[in-house]
Structures are given as C-alpha cells and as structure tokens.
Structure 1
Amino acid sequence: MLVVKFKGIHGAAALAMVAAGLGALPTAAGAQTAQAARPIDIPAGSLGAALTQLGRRTGVMIVFDPALTRGRRTAGLRGAYTPAQALDRLLAGSGIAARSDGRGGFTLSAQASPRGSSSRRAVKDAPRPRQTAPLVEAPEAAEVLVVTATRTSLPVTALPLTIDVIGKEELAQQVAVSGSTLDAVSSLLPAFSPTQEKINVTGVRLRGRSPLYAIDGVPQSTPIRNDARDGYTIDPFFIDRVEVIYGSNALQGIGATGGVVNQVTARAPTRDGLGGRVLLQGNSADDFSGAALGGKVGGLLSWRGGAIDITGGAAFERRGVYLDGHGKRIGIDPNNSELQDTDTLSFFARVGADLSDHVRLEVVGSRFNLDSNNHYVGISGNREQNLPSTSQRGDVPGLAAGNRAELLSASLIDSDFAGGTLSLLGFYNKSRTRFSGGTLATFQDASIAPAGTLFDQSQNDSRKLGGKISYERRVPGIPGLTGTVGFDALFDRTAQSLIQTNREWVPQTDFRSLAPFGQLNWALLQDRLRLAGGVRYENVQLDIPDYTTLASYGSRSVTGGKPSFDRALWNAGVIVEPIRGVRAYGSYAQGFTIADVGRILRGINTPGVVIDNYLDLTPVVSTNKEIGVEVQRGPLDASVSYYWSHSDLGEVLVRGDDGFYSTARQPVDIQGLDLNVNVRTPLPGLKLGLGYSHIIGRTDTDGDGRLDADLDGGNVSPDRVNLTADYRSGPFTARVQGRIYLSRTFDGQPRANSFAGYTLFDTYLGYDLPVGQLSLGVQNLFDVYYITYLTDTQGPTDNARFYAGRGRNVTLGWNYRF
C-alpha cells in the first residue's frame, strides 16, 4: 500500500516518524517511477479515493491526513501523465498542496489562501493554479472545473455547452456595486437583459428566452402562475458562486428555455475549527439625503469538528428610495414590485456529515423575506414630454407588498457507489408573493361593494415538493465512455387569491412532473474528441378543481380537469480539442416550459367551459443549436459562439393597456452571436476584457406561417458591448466596467417602442486591511440620466410605468473572513 493516511495527533507523530524513516530507504527506483509518464484513468469521485488509486497504480508514496480530503471531490483524470502531473491535476482547485519528499514521493497539506485570489470561473475564463508552482515543469493547463448545474462530475471542458461561472470574489464586487445577484449577472453577461431595477423579472431574458432560476439545483420558478419574483429568493451574502448555462436545455427540468441560473450557496468548511465572515455596508445616492440612504449587515459562522460541520447566518438590508441621473425620485411600481424602500431579512443554515471519505449528507435551509416599507406612492409621468414617473411620501393602503421564499433541502452524495457517483436530492420550497392593491376594474363586484369602490390586492401562494436522483459512472468495457441516468419528480401546488375579500382568483392547482433521463459522454483519441448526447422524458399533468371566475369575468362556473402531456427532449453534441487550450464544439438541445396557466384560468369569461376540452397544455418546446470556439493560450482567453433557437409554438410576452403581461402562443425564431475576449497584459496585475452580444428575434403575428415581425424589447435583450479593466497589486484591487447598450428599432412593432440606447460605467475599489477588506462600489459612475430598457420599449401610453434608471449610487463596505 503506497498511499499513507494518518489521523489526529497520533497520526501527526506517526507521519513524522515515517518521514524520518523513509530517509534510510533506497530512493532511485522511486525517483525513476515518479518521472515516467504512463496512461492513467481515474474516474470522477472522492478525492481521497482518487489519490489512493493514483498511488496504487503508479507505485508512488503519497502521504496525507484523510481529514484533509474529507468531503472533497475530483473530476477524475484520463490520459498520459507522470505521477507528479497526475497529482497536480487531481489537486487542482482543491486547496491542497503537494510537496515532493525528494525521493519520488509526495506529502499533502492545506494550501494557504492568497489574499485577493481570482474568483472568476468560466469555460472561456477557466482559472489556472496561482497558489503553488507545478510539481514538475509541464505545459500550462486550466484547472478542472465542475459545474453542479450540469448534473455531471465531468469538467465543463467535456461538455458541448456555453457556461459562465461567477466566482465568490467577482460576485461580491458586483453586489457591492449593484446590490443584487440578478443585477450582478446582468452586468457581467452581455447576453443577459438589463434588469428593470425592480424585484420583477418580467422581460429579463437570457438569449431572448426566460432562464430557470435555481438554488443549489432546486428550481425557484413556479410553472402554474409565474409571479416573476424567482430571481430574488435568497440573499447574495449566502451565495458563493453563480453558474449560468446558456441556451435551451432540460438539465434541470421545466423552465430553462433560455438557460439556467443556478445560485450555489456557501460551502461547508473543510478544516476543523471555527470560521466565518462579516459584512457591513452603507450606500447612498449623490445627495446623501436620508430617504436615499441604505445599508446592510450580515454574518455567517461555520464550524467543523471531525466529520460534522455546521454553518449558519443572517443578513438584514434596508434600501432607500432610488434617484435618477437628475436627482429625482424614481417612480414606485403600481404593484409595488419594488426593491427601493424595502427591508430584507434573510437566514441561512447548513448541516453536513461525512459518513465516510466518499459519502456526504447535507441539510440546507434558507428563508428570504422582503417587504415594502409603504412610505411612498407613485406619481405618473408624461411620455410625450419625456417626464418619467416619480414618487412622493404617502400612505399605501392594504398590507405591505413583498416576497417571501423558504427552502429546505437534503442531499446525499456517494462518490464511490458501485464504481460511480450516486446523488440524491429532496426539497421543499414555499413562497408567498403579495402585490399592492387598488380599486382595479378586475376586482369589482357589485354584490360586495358599489362599483368603483372595492379595494383589493392579490397574493400568490406556492408550495413545491421534489426529488432528484442520478447515478454516473464509467461504462465498463468501453474506454472513455461515461454514462448518467436519473429521475426527477416535481409536485407544485399554487393558488392566487384576493386577500382583502378572501376571493379565489386562480384556483388551487396541482402540477406534477415525472422525468427519467439518460446521458452519455464518450472521450476518444486521448480526449481530443468527445461525443455527447441524451434524452429526458417529461410526463406532466395538471389537476384543476371546479371553480367560479370573478364577477368582472362574468362569474362563470368552470368545470375542472386533468390536462396532461408527455414529451421526449433530446440533446447531442461534439467537442474537438486539437491542441491544448483550443476547443471547438457544436450542440443541439431542447428545453421546455408551459404557458402561464394561472393567467388563462382566471381570465375565462365564456360559459360552460370544461378544462379538459379548453386548456391547451401543449408545451413551449425550444430547440437550441449552437457552434462555438474557445481559445485559452498564454495571456489570451477568448470565445465566440453562434446560436439558433426556434419554437414552432412559442411564448411571446404581450403587454396589456393595464400594464399587465399575458402570453401569446406563436412561432418564435432567435439567432445571436456572443463574443468574449480577455487578455492579461504585460503590466503585472492588469487584465482587459471585451464582451459583445448580438441578437435577432422574429415571430409570426398573424398566423400565416411567415415570420413577419421582430420580437420587441419585452422578449429580447438589446445588442450590447461590455468593456472591463481589472487591476490587482498587493492589497489593492480595482475594476472599471462599461456597458454600452446599442440603440435599435423593431421591425413590425410601434415606432414609439424603439430603443434609444445608453452607456453606463461602474467601478469597484478594494483594499486589504490588517483586519478585513475595505471596499467602495460606485454604480453609474458618471451619473448618466437614461430611461430603462423595458420602459423604453413597452407601453408607449403607460405614464405610471415610465421609469428612469438609477443615477450614481455609492456603496462603502467592510468585510472580514476568518
């Protein structure tokens, strides 16, 4: 046995004795063994098990404490390597360093974390080891990066997908500038729509379609009645990274027609003892007035003792009103779908247990609660005079609008189960979305109050139960072939009610999805060629009870039913890597969602409707084709991809005169180009970046089979250029980023909905103190006055929702990690 493991204090003493004893042993054979390259094939799984296999297969002594590798995983290794090179690859990104003993063996220890290490992770910006020199001289190689949202242990370079991963440090920088995870993603990724600067994510698209938002793989979207709050269900203080998968796919089930935005929560500690982090922030607009002041405080503690770890924390944030580039208050949304003038209180907890060196059990819980303070009411603007809406102090009737999301999940991962990796996940997710009220025509009922006098407000209540199981391993007898099989189940119960009069608007409806799936990934020609493909089979059913519509729809009695559909969703791809650092790929994938059933159900105004005969549950199936090239050589990281996305029966957002959106089922065709270039300059610490996104969306508005109009601003993002400059020197960090949103007109759409375009710059400065780090984030550095994208391209007669964008906002912060 050539891998030596020691435990505890006695183990440390034994380690010292063995290390001394090794000095008397012959070393020539060991040194020769360590230098010879040979074929090595180690599957993904437990890092400890992988190191054991490496020692057995190479005859090289590898000494480490098993506590060091407990809970850590590796993406595996396949190819011709010396033992030192293989060890380097297995340990990449693990935080573990290997030290040569001078006799052909190695001793492992925890790696010191450098201050201000890089945090960006992406297929086209994969990290390189910066913390220690390679064990032997070898061509520079990217660290192995595994993205949990892909549901495989294979590294991202083995997948025919475009993926971005926003790491802990870069996410913290962006949140310090803009305040939210969604704004951070939108700022960094050119293919992502600009946000509304509200809690409402309506019209926020990724490559022209809606993404699926998830937390640790648990879906946050509600398929029955989309409340457009799924981008705000956890505080960014508890997020370590964000994984973004571009394009339609069914990896996580329903809703990912535009891709997946998976928020990965704070990881468990890997070393015994107490650790954590603290955050203090204050922010203000230019005038530093009391109404515009805000702040945040957060704390997270982690403890590990042996095989058990516990993490818990809380965060509180108060947001003031937002001011535009002219110093005027920005309008309050009539539904109070707001971030401004709100309080947010969030909690997070994780309990983990390493049942063995390859089996881990975790339970995670979070609670996110955002409520309006009801200090301000909206004042309509005037589009003809280019006067945006504003707000003033006033009383807001009814209960405070807000969003509450609660999550409880349990997972078990066995990375050495029958030669593969078994993953189990079960979750419970509960959400409540409350909107502001009014005496809207829809709410009127003469049997309750005289017409025009009845005040009411609506609330969505949703509960999700679900589970995911998957098993992945190398296929015996076929070198390089990895297979994955799994099964997902989701049960969603959602209702929308009018809470002031206790009326049912959308009846309590049950959604059920059952989906087995399988994937294959075959590495050929020493990993220079990979073939991938798979299928997911969706079986979906709705259960809708008998109900009566509101009086404004004629108080129609509707007979319930159980409409259903089933559909196979396919994917396939090929990757070619002719030389290290140059990768080309092509892919085909299908994703699906269903139309907003709640809007359909509540709007029925004809008599004698039977749901089984009335409701068309035909899914929105989007087909995504993509080709791309990535180059990662020397100082250059660059990528370019072109994609085509088509739906025969798509979903197009249509804005009504009342400001509410409905969906139209019609053909949709989208094409686009994504380009990213990052260069490390000769000036130490300076990195420059350029990003570009171009998108064209077309649809058939009259059903004649011809695509006759552009998709408008509610359905596609604007063309955009991103410019970035990052600099790091010792304790100092700086970033300047520019977002240039290009003007455009929409063929076949009202001229008034053309987009004028605008340019924004942000900056971030950080300085490491003896204790913690001081940071300064500035959003809209030059205090540019502009009209937000969705406002500019939608509702040309809606003066209440005519919003200017946020002007200069400054955030001063201090954070400390220990």
Structure 2
Amino acid sequence: MVRFPLSILSLALSTSVYAQQPSNDLERIIVTGSRVVENIDEVPASVTVITREQIEAQLKVSPELQNLLEVLVPGMAPSTNSSSNTGQTLRGRAPLVMIDGVPQSTPLRNGSLGVRTLDPSVIERIEVIKGATSVYGNGAAGGVINYITKRPHSDNGAKISVDVSSRFSAVRADESLGGRLEASINGRQDAFSYLATVSVEENGVQRDAEGDILGLQYGLSDVETHNYFTKLGYDFDNEKSLSITYNYYKSQQKTDLADVFGNVNTGEKSYAIHVPQEQQKQGLPQGPSGNTNIMLKYTDSEIFKATALTFDLYAQDIENVFFFSPNLANPSEGYEGGQSIITSEKKGLRATFNTLFDLENTEATLIYGVDILNDVTSQPLVDGRVWVPEMDMSNFAGFLQSKWVVNNHYVLKAGVRHEDIDLKVDDYRTLKLCRSETQCSVPIDVRGDTLNYTATTYNIGLKYNAYEAFSPFVSYSQGADISDIGRLLRTATVNDIALIQTEASVIDNYEVGFTSVIDKLRVEGSLYRSTSELGTTNSFDPTTGVYMPVRAPQEIWGYELLADYRFNKAWRTTLTYAYVEGKNTADDIYLGARQISPPKATANVQWQPTPNTSVGLSALYVGDRERFEANDAGDYVGDQAPIDDYLVLNMSGQHRFTDQLKGFVGIENLLNRDYYPARAQAYTYGGYNIKGLGTTITAGINYQF
C-alpha cells in the first residue's frame, strides 16, 4: 500500500447555510465541514445547520430524527415513518451519518439504518453537508449528516435536568400510550468538566388515520429505546484539552403483533394485528441490538506557531438486526425464511492540523492531516448462514485544504484528498435463496482476494461577500465511493471476486448558489448537478426472484430555495422548496424512488406571544412523481410505482411556569390526514405500503435544578 506524507490532503467543503435562524444570529453560527471551526460566511457551498432550539421544537412533535431532517433540511427526502432511512436520500444519493465525525453508517453493506443511531436528547446541533464530499472518506456520495453532541457547561457547579413525557394516538388511544424519561447532569469543577445523560423510551402501538396499527416492516410500534451518554473533559491550560465521549444506543421492537400484507398495485394497505404466539414475528427483535461509540479527542490550539492540532481516536461497534423474511428461504435445506444482521466494527484515528497565515490583505488557512480507518463489516443470518461475507477494509488518506479570504470580500477554498483502500474478502459461497420451490437463485463458489482502490479527489469553491443583499458562490467537489460492496458480493454470478464489478465510483458535484439578506428577509438558493461513473440500482430477475444490482452511469440534478422572514419579535416564518431528479444515462431512464424523491415544500410559522410561551405550526407538502409505466399485467415493479401528493400539518407549543419548570405539547398530523408516505407509494416490495401516522399527541414537562 502506498503511503502519503502529511502534505497530501483534502479539500474541504464550501457551503451555503440553510440555518433557519434570525438573520442577525447567522454570524455566530459555526460549521465543521472543513474539519475545523469556521465562520458561516466563509463556506461557499450548501450546508444546513440545525440548532438545539430547532431540535427541541421539532421533538415536541416527534422523537424521530428522520422526521426532523425531512422538515428542516432542503434536499433531504421525505421521512419513511419507520426505523429505516431507505429511500430517504440527500439530493438523490446516500449520505454518510456520523456522531462527532465518527461514521455510524455501514457503507460496505448499507442497511439504511444510520440516521437513527443515537437519542436526540444528546445532540447539540446537526450539520448537514450536501453534495458528494471526500472530507470524511467513503460513504458520503450524497453528503454528510454529522450529529454534534452536547458539551458540559463552562460554569462551576452542577446542573440537573429531568424530562418526562407521554405519547399516544388521538385517533384510537388504546394500546398506543408510550412513555419517555430523560435525565442529565452536567457541570464543571475547576479544569474538569462532565456531562451524563440517560434516556429511556417505550412506544405503544402506532396507529394510522383509520385507527389501524401500522405495519411492522421497520415499524416503530412496541419499540424500546435506551441511550446512555457520557462526556468528560479536562483542560490542561488555555491551549490544551482532552475529552472522552461514550455513547450506547439500543432500540428494538418487542411485540406480539404480526403483519397483514397489502399490495401497492391493488391499493390494499399493510397493517398489523394481534395474533397467537405461533403466528407472531419469528426470530430476534428487529432494530439495533447495540451501537457503542467511544471517542477520545485531544486539542492544542498552539502546538507550534500559528498552528492548532486536533487528534481523534475512535471506535464504533454496531449490530443491526433485520426482520424475519420469507425471501431468505431455502426449502431444500429446511429454511422457510431467514433473518439477517449487519455487524460492523470500526476503529480509526484522525490528525488535523490548522495553520494560519496573515498576508497583505489576505487571511490564509491551511488544513492538513491524515485519516486511518479499519472497518470490518458482514451480514450473516441468525441461523448461521452467511449472506454477505466479512469485508475487512483498511483505509489510509491524506488531505490538504486551503482557504484564502481576500479583502474580506472573496473566499476561495481549494484542496485535495488521496485515498488508499485495501478491501480483503476470503473465499465464500453465495446463498441459495428461493421465493418458491421452483424460483431460486443459483449458489456460486467465489474466490476471495484483496481489492485495492486508490483515488485522488479535488474540491474548489469561491464565494463573494461584498454585499449582504447578494452573496453568490460557486463550487465543485468530488467524492470517491465504494459503498455497498456487500450487495454486489451477495449477488455474485461469477466465481472470482476480481470479476465482480466492484470498481469505486467517482462522483462529481457542481453547484452555484446565493444568499441575500435584505432587512428582515433572508433568501437562499442553489442549483446543483451530480454525475457518477457508476451508480447502483436494482433490476428484478424473474427467473431467480432476486433483485440484482445494476451498475450504470448516473446524473442527478435539482435546486433548493429557502426564505426566512421575521415580522417582529413575536412572529417569524420559514419556507423551503426542493426539487431533485435523476437518470441512468446509459439507458436514458429515470432513477427509481430508492434514490429520487418527489418535490418537497415546507413551511414553519413561529409565534411567541410572551417571553414564556411559544407556539409553532409546520407544514410538509410532498408533490407528485410519475416517471414509470406499468408492465403488461398492469402492475408496477420495484421502486417505480407512482407517487401522489400529500400535505401534513404539525403543531407544537410550550410554556415556562417557573424558572425551573416548563410544559410542552406536540401534535403530529394535526388534521389526521389519511395518506401513504412517498416510499410506501413507490415501493412495490412486500410490506412497505404502510400508511402514515394518524394524529398523535406528545405531552410532557421539563424540570431543572
């Protein structure tokens, strides 16, 4: 493996910020897309920063991060109303989900469960970097969602906070009552700081607008969630500090329900009912059986002249358990179905240096360093069969980014990152999977090997900041992606891994946009185009009954708009609109709903009649998308069914009774709209056509002492 010195490094990002905040607060927002703290005005591309205040307001309506992201992030596909973020892409591509920069996604075998990997109570803010980027390595084809966890307060002494809340269906309350308890303590004693949070949540059944229990395919009915978070810090002096963070997250469905499967083509919904034990879901409870993260961070703001160092060591271990599926059957060997588990262990370190130069009329910054990551991922079945063999990836990367601020008006960012990846896979045999006695895949003995990938990616961005009324930017960024190699391995039709089309895909992202601030109005817009040499879509093989990966060049394009207006101290509104479309350019056909979402618009109105009382109303509109024709039998297949538009309203409010006590309430689907979410309409796979949540109420109190 070729090793590169510290001087070879990556570009950072550029970014236009959709930070739905008052205009006069924007200069105080910082982002870490470039791996260091930056002023928001110095990022020429698209980033959404979601603050703690926004998180708390949205979580009064729903505790699910998927729902929060669909409302607050232009370019994020609509939520799936489930534990899975399959189809909830970012600008038509899969994002890399991280906690404090530590990858939570499993890109080598993407199970699309990365969005829901920690409890929102520990999140200080969320930074969403849109467009392909190599800043954090493999898996960021669509960008990055980085959950930044809370830090201890700087004041001496301790602060304790307790939240108690309940959630239930307003359509039919029986069995729907759920409860949540959250407790935290944080503080500082001289140079030592500490923060610890425990949250426990138990859902009742979830009901649609007709009062029926939502289907169990990645469902959230009867889910028990536990999250334990600790962050300890020590300041050696004003320049040097050390912190260690531990987070454990577990969320599993334990239920006596079973599915009644519907059919997208006939218009019959899937839902769940109580059944005798022998008819209940087989296998282990679905969901993450444990997601453990340990992070050690050392910072020195002056390791040598005008240079800061951030050094991170981290480890992550996760097991995501999927539902029992009859599609994993092999009747000849006595298997009526199967249940898979994606396991992933990551260990890594990052060293980032930041050197400042003060030149004539120019402030220059160099950001450089190295990343080392080992990721071991596999997808076995609970019964002992191996669906995806163990993939052992070693990744070494060097990066360099430069930023030049000229006359306080021009911001130029440019950089490079070099990746060197070894992926080791031992000999394995593909599984024989049967949809019926006569419709089975053919198992293949595949010879393993060590695959090597090298890629050098570049980024450049320019922003002009002379006028608040119009601040334009333009950017170009690349990402190298070997995501979901596991999907390719498990459906191999050749006897040598070297013959499988596992090449890395280089994604080119082009973007132009602007920010305008005129008095109380802030307007932002961006237009983007993303191309890749090799994407991965699915094609159904009617002979074997298996969806086979299709690797073909792709082009994705779209635009996003945001307007934020503060009428006065009491009233404020934010409007967004996002459009994305994409094609397989080799065959000139549109991409399905697994990647491309329909148009999306959101509206948020906030009213604060008194300093102690606030009320919020939000609307989510999802438009039509009808790009595909039915087959000769009149049925749609795969992820290509038509999507009809729908509108959902949510409402929230809170009141502070004393300095220590406040109460809150949230109403999801205020008008009890009877609808199918976008994915439920487009996916024809069994069990996905589950209706959206009916009117659901959350109410609770918070006490601090």
The equivalent residue for 2:125 is 241
C-alpha distance in structure 2 between counterparts of 1:661 and 1:429, whole Å? 30
8 A contact 1:535–1:568 mirrored in 2? yes
The equivalent residue for 1:496 is 379
Q: Does 1:547 find its partner at 2:432?
A: no
Structure 2 counterparts to residues 533-544 of structure 1, below 5 A: 533-544=414-425
Report SS of the residue matched to 1:251: coil
C-alpha distance in structure 1 between counterparts of 2:442 and 2:686, whole Å? 30
C-alpha distance in structure 2 between counterparts of 1:424 and 1:627, whole Å? 33
Q: Does 1:724 find its partner at 2:604?
A: yes
Larger helix proportion of the pair: 1
The equivalent residue for 2:307 is 420
Structure 2 counterparts to residues 619-658 of structure 1, below 5 A: 619-652=504-537
Tell me the amino acid that sits aligned with residue 493 of structure 1: V
The partner residue of 2:221 within 317, 336, 340 is: 340
**How far has the Cα of 1:345 moved from its partner?**
1.0
The equivalent residue for 1:754 is 642
The partner residue of 1:486 within 363, 369, 372 is: 369
The equivalent residue for 1:713 is 593
Tell me the amino acid that sits aligned with residue 346 of structure 2: K
1:284-303 superposed Cα distances (whole Å, 9 cap, x missing partner): 11145332111211111113
**How far has the Cα of 1:803 moved from its partner?**
1.2
8 A contact 2:32–2:38 mirrored in 1? no
8 A contact 1:124–1:631 mirrored in 2? no
**How far has the Cα of 1:490 moved from its partner?**
1.2
The equivalent residue for 2:247 is 366
Q: Does 1:698 find its partner at 2:583?
A: yes
Structure 2 counterparts to residues 297-376 of structure 1, below 5 A: 297-333=181-217, 337-376=218-257
Tell me the amino acid that sits aligned with residue 662 of structure 2: Q
C-alpha distance in structure 1 between counterparts of 2:628 and 2:445, whole Å? 42
C-alpha distance in structure 2 between counterparts of 1:145 and 1:639, whole Å? 16
Tell me the amino acid that sits aligned with residue 183 of structure 1: N
1:347-399 superposed Cα distances (whole Å, 9 cap, x missing partner): 00111111111211110010001111122111012445522111111322222
Structure 2 counterparts to residues 97-136 of structure 1, below 5 A: 122=17, 125=20
Tell me the amino acid that sits aligned with residue 568 of structure 1: T
The equivalent residue for 2:449 is 561
> Unaligned 5+ residue runs, structure 1?
1-120, 131-141
The partner residue of 2:678 within 767, 789, 811 is: 789
1:467-512 superposed Cα distances (whole Å, 9 cap, x missing partner): 1111112136564111111111111111222222x22222222012
8 A contact 1:443–1:550 mirrored in 2? no
**How far has the Cα of 1:661 moved from its partner?**
6.2
**In structure 2, do the counterparts of structure 1 residues 318 and 129 end up closer, same or farther at CA, with 3 Å as the change threshold?**
same
**How far has the Cα of 1:223 moved from its partner?**
2.3
1:97-154 superposed Cα distances (whole Å, 9 cap, x missing partner): xxxxxxxxxxxxxxxxxxxxxxxx9555455668xxxxxxxxxxx4332212431222
Tell me the amino acid that sits aligned with residue 722 of structure 1: T
8 A contact 2:165–2:179 mirrored in 1? yes
The equivalent residue for 1:407 is 293
Tell me the amino acid that sits aligned with residue 806 of structure 1: L
The partner residue of 1:471 within 353, 361, 377 is: 353
The equivalent residue for 2:669 is 780
**How far has the Cα of 1:674 moved from its partner?**
0.6
Structure 2 counterparts to residues 58-77 of structure 1, below 5 A: none
Q: Does 1:198 find its partner at 2:82?
A: yes
Report SS of the residue matched to 1:520: strand
Structure 2 counterparts to residues 37-48 of structure 1, below 5 A: none
Tell me the amino acid that sits aligned with residue 726 of structure 1: Q
The equivalent residue for 1:105 is none
The partner residue of 1:744 within 609, 613, 625 is: 625
8 A contact 1:712–1:749 mirrored in 2? no
Report SS of the residue matched to 1:289: coil
Q: Does 1:278 find its partner at 2:278?
A: no
Report SS of the residue matched to 1:290: coil
C-alpha distance in structure 1 between counterparts of 2:182 and 2:546, whole Å? 36
Report SS of the residue matched to 2:89: coil
Report SS of the residue matched to 2:69: helix
Tell me the amino acid that sits aligned with residue 598 of structure 2: P
**How far has the Cα of 1:761 moved from its partner?**
0.7
Number of equivalenced pairs:
666
The equivalent residue for 2:700 is 813
Tell me the amino acid that sits aligned with residue 260 of structure 1: V
C-alpha distance in structure 2 between counterparts of 1:420 and 1:128, whole Å? 32
Tell me the amino acid that sits aligned with residue 594 of structure 2: G
**How far has the Cα of 1:762 moved from its partner?**
0.6
Q: Does 1:258 find its partner at 2:145?
A: no
The equivalent residue for 1:73 is none
Scaled by the length of structure 2, the TM-score of the pair is 0.90
Tell me the amino acid that sits aligned with residue 491 of structure 2: G
C-alpha distance in structure 1 between counterparts of 2:602 and 2:106, whole Å? 32
**How far has the Cα of 1:604 moved from its partner?**
2.9
C-alpha distance in structure 2 between counterparts of 1:605 and 1:646, whole Å? 27
C-alpha distance in structure 2 between counterparts of 1:660 and 1:174, whole Å? 39
8 A contact 1:177–1:778 mirrored in 2? yes
C-alpha distance in structure 1 between counterparts of 2:466 and 2:676, whole Å? 47
The equivalent residue for 2:565 is 679
**How far has the Cα of 1:654 moved from its partner?**
5.2
**How far has the Cα of 1:530 moved from its partner?**
1.4
Tell me the amino acid that sits aligned with residue 381 of structure 1: G
**In structure 2, do the counterparts of structure 1 residues 209 and 384 end up closer, same or farther at CA, with 3 Å as the change threshold?**
closer
The equivalent residue for 1:527 is 408
Larger strand proportion of the pair: 2
> Unaligned 5+ residue runs, structure 2?
1-15, 434-440
Q: Give the share of equivalent positions with the same residue, in percent.
A: 25
C-alpha distance in structure 1 between counterparts of 2:253 and 2:462, whole Å? 49
User: Which deviates the most, 348-357 or 544-553?
Assistant: 544-553
**In structure 2, do the counterparts of structure 1 residues 555 and 673 end up closer, same or farther at CA, with 3 Å as the change threshold?**
closer
1:687-745 superposed Cα distances (whole Å, 9 cap, x missing partner): 02211112221223xx45xxx22222221121122112111131111111111111121
Structure 2 counterparts to residues 580-659 of structure 1, below 5 A: 580=468, 582-606=470-494, 609-611=495-497, 613-652=498-537
Scaled by the length of structure 1, the TM-score of the pair is 0.78
The partner residue of 1:229 within 109, 113, 134 is: 113
**In structure 2, do the counterparts of structure 1 residues 660 and 513 end up closer, same or farther at CA, with 3 Å as the change threshold?**
farther
Instruction: Provide the aligned C-alpha RMSD in A.
Output: 2.2
Tell me the amino acid that sits aligned with residue 534 of structure 2: L
Structure 2 counterparts to residues 85-164 of structure 1, below 5 A: 122=17, 125=20, 142-164=26-48
The equivalent residue for 2:437 is none
Tell me the amino acid that sits aligned with residue 347 of structure 2: L
Tell me the amino acid that sits aligned with residue 645 of structure 1: S
1:595-643 superposed Cα distances (whole Å, 9 cap, x missing partner): 422222222355xx122x2233321221111111101232111111111
Report SS of the residue matched to 1:309: strand
8 A contact 2:133–2:141 mirrored in 1? yes
1:37-62 superposed Cα distances (whole Å, 9 cap, x missing partner): xxxxxxxxxxxxxxxxxxxxxxxxxx
Structure 2 counterparts to residues 24-63 of structure 1, below 5 A: none
8 A contact 1:123–1:157 mirrored in 2? no
Tell me the amino acid that sits aligned with residue 487 of structure 1: V
C-alpha distance in structure 2 between counterparts of 1:557 and 1:626, whole Å? 45
8 A contact 2:488–2:549 mirrored in 1? no
Tell me the amino acid that sits aligned with residue 788 of structure 1: P
**How far has the Cα of 1:576 moved from its partner?**
0.5
**How far has the Cα of 1:645 moved from its partner?**
0.9
8 A contact 2:97–2:105 mirrored in 1? yes
User: Which deviates the most, 183-192 or 474-483?
Assistant: 474-483
The partner residue of 1:767 within 647, 655, 666 is: 655
8 A contact 1:445–1:551 mirrored in 2? no
C-alpha distance in structure 2 between counterparts of 1:660 and 1:621, whole Å? 27
The partner residue of 2:340 within 437, 454, 458 is: 458
C-alpha distance in structure 1 between counterparts of 2:652 and 2:432, whole Å? 54
